[in-house]
């Protein structure tokens, strides 16, 4: 009888303990979760998850960091990326044509609070700087926004003022500087020319989000490049030990130099890392995202700014953005990488295009380990799309 009673006491105590633990943990979670908390989906191998549908502006503004890859309002491939940390914003490039300006400005009106803190212009190609390089009768993004800091390619260009669009850019940039903007070429930042102009700087004071300007031999015209693309300003965002890499339209030679100059024993040793997000260099061209670069950065998430499958640059299917060689190189460096693409070409000649993933917004928040990818249209990653199945294949891995 005594034995039986002991067992009963033990069982009751044990049940109480388990019940207490469950209630206690629940209460703890209840108290620590903010109102807007979303239960994360089961972690994937890439520790990222994508959500589709209209992007909630307030949800995005509550994040510590958001990176936006924009659709450009036309059938042309081009780059435009907005980075937002609190009320501080950085706009990298504004392609694809002057006709993209309304789409870009409408987006800026939604997300930019106060002045536009930084504009980065990676290189002097229309699909990257059209929005800044308008003729005098069209308002440029410099006319439409108050920009505090302009960072560009400086002397890293083969263009001269005899080139109409380049002359337009210089005129518009100079006007913004005359209106109060601070201007430096990216090489000034890399060379740490003053206490304010440094290779690594915090995007917003106290945010813990850093910008690192990356050196390669063509930056700022250090060496003559055969292609304008190889002058591209490259930078990465660093937050919570995650890296987000932007290389403009850097091609094979530029990428080789980027890897070399940031390798052990070089002046920028250790700056290149495996990255959480990589903006596909040169829109997923066959001449960029080389194995040399991919093997170092092994991206987990790749965002391609392009009008997929368009004949704008070539009629050869496998070389249309995003190219088969690009797919091969990304996949071989990380078979678990997820690729997202802004826009899809429907019929180039008939001027028909549609959103692919649409505007793509990557968000990060302190304490949240997963990377969230918000897509204004589909959240299906490239490998699982009908377009991919009809036009691309996955390479065999040796």
Q: How far is the CB of 398 from Zn ion (least distance, A)?
A: 32
Among 212-220, 249-257, 348-356, 373-381, which window interacts with Zn ion (CB under 5 A)?
Answer: 249-257
Q: Segment contacting Zn ion (CB under 5 A): 119-127, 293-301, 316-324, 331-339?
A: 119-127
Closer of 281 and 299 to Zn ion (Cβ) = 281
Q: Which is nearer to Zn ion, 236 or 287 (CB)?
A: 287
Q: Where are the beta strands (DSSP E) in 254-394?
A: 277-279, 301-308, 338-347, 352-355, 360-364, 371-375
Q: Is 381 helix (H, G, I), strand (E, B) or coil?
A: coil
Counting contacts by CB under 5 A, is residue 127 touching Zn ion?
yes
Strand, helix or coil for residue 20: helix
- Nearer Cβ to Zn ion (76/331): 76
Q: Which is nearer to Zn ion, 282 or 374 (CB)?
A: 282
Q: Which of 215, 263, 257 has the alpha carbon at shortest distance from 235? A: 215
The region of 68-76, 126-134, 135-143, 235-243 touching Zn ion under the rule CB under 5 A is 126-134
Separation CA 329–CA 190 (nearest Å)? 29
The secondary structure of 217-253, three-state, reads CCHHHCCCCCCHHHHCCEEEEEECCEEEEECCCCCHH
Which is nearer to Zn ion, 55 or 305 (by Cβ)? 305
In angstroms, give the least distance from the CB of 392 to Zn ion.
20
CB of 109 to Zn ion, least distance (A): 25
Structural contact between residues 119 and 235, judged by C-beta atoms closer than 8 angstroms: no
What are 2's two structure tokens? 């005594």
Which residue, 239 or 321, is less far from Zn ion as judged by CB? Answer: 321
The beta strand positions in the chain, using DSSP E, are 48-52, 65-69, 81-85, 88-92, 116-120, 147-152, 182-185, 200-202, 210-214, 234-239, 242-246, 277-279, 301-308, 338-347, 352-355, 360-364, 371-375
Give the nearer residue to Zn ion in terms of CB position, either 55 or 306: 306
Closest distance of CB 376 from Zn ion, Å: 22
Q: Are 90 and 59 in contact (CB under 8 A)?
A: no
**201 strand-pairing partners:** 211
Nearer to Zn ion, 142 or 321 (CB): 321
Work out how close the CB of 277 gets to Zn ion at its nearest, in angstroms, rounded to a whole number: 18
CB of 305 to Zn ion, least distance (A): 8
In this structure, the number of other CB atoms found within 10 A of the CB of residue 171 comes to 17
Beta-ladder partners of 69: 81, 360
Stretch binding Zn ion (CB under 5 A), from 154-162, 248-256, 349-357, 384-392: 248-256
Q: Which residue has the tokens 């204004």?
A: 376
Examine residue 249 and tell whether it contacts Zn ion (CB under 5 A): yes
Closest approach of Zn ion to the CB of residue 78, in Å = 6
Structure token pair of residue 215: 């050196």
In this structure, the chain runs to a length of 398
Nearest distance in Å: CB 230, Zn ion: 12
Range 130-169, binding Zn ion (CB under 5 A)? none
| Site size toward Zn ion, by CB under 5 A | 2
Peptide bond into 21 cis (omega under 30): no
Stretch near Zn ion under the rule CB under 5 A, chosen from 124-132, 171-179, 293-301, 318-326: 124-132
Q: Which stretch binds Zn ion (CB under 5 A): 20-28, 121-129, 330-338, 348-356?
A: 121-129
Q: What is the contact surface with Zn ion in residues (CB under 5 A)?
A: 127, 249
């Amino acid at each position: 009888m005594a034995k039986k009673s002991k067992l009963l006491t033990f069982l009751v105590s044990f049940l109480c303990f388990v019940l207490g633990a469950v209630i206690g943990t629940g209460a703890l979670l209840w108290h620590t979760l903010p109102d807007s908390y979303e239960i994360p989906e089961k972690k994937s191998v890439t520790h990222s998850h994508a959500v589709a549908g209209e992007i909630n502006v307030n949800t995005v503004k509550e994040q510590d960091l958001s990176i936006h890859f924009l659709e450009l309002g036309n059938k042309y491939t081009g780059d435009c990326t907005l980075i937002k940390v609190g009320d501080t914003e950085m706009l990298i490039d504004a392609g694809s044509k002057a006709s993209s300006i309304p789409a870009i400005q409408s987006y800026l009106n939604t997300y930019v609070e106060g002045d536009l803190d930084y504009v980065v212009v990676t290189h002097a190609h229309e699909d990257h700087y059209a929005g800044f390089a308008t003729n005098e009768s069209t308002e440029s993004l410099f006319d439409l926004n108050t920009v505090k800091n302009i960072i560009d390619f400086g002397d890293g260009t083969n263009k001269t003022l005899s080139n109409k669009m380049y002359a337009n850019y210089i005129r518009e940039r100079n006007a913004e500087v005359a209106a109060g903007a601070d201007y430096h070429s990216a090489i000034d930042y890399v060379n740490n020319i003053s206490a304010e102009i440094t290779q690594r700087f915090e995007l917003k004071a106290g945010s813990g989000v850093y910008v690192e300007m990356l050196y390669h031999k063509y930056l700022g015209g250090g060496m003559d490049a055969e292609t304008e693309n190889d002058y591209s300003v490259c930078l990465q965002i660093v937050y919570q030990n995650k890296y987000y890499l932007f290389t403009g339209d850097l091609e094979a030679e530029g990428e080789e130099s980027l890897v070399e100059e940031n390798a052990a024993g070089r002046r920028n040793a250790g700056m290149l890392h495996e990255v959480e997000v990589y903006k596909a260099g040169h829109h997923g061209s066959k001449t960029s995202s080389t194995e040399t670069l991919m093997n170092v950065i092994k991206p987990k998430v790749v965002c391609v700014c392009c009008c997929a499958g368009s004949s704008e640059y070539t009629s050869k299917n496998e070389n249309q953005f995003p190219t088969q060689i690009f797919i091969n190189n990304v996949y071989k460096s990380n078979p678990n990488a997820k690729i997202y693409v802004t826009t899809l070409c429907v019929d180039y000649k008939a001027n028909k295009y549609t959103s692919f993933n649409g505007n793509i917004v990557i968000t990060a928040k302190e304490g949240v380990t997963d990377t969230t990818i918000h897509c204004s249209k589909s959240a299906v990653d490239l490998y699982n799309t009908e377009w991919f199945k009809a036009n691309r294949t996955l390479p065999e891995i040796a």
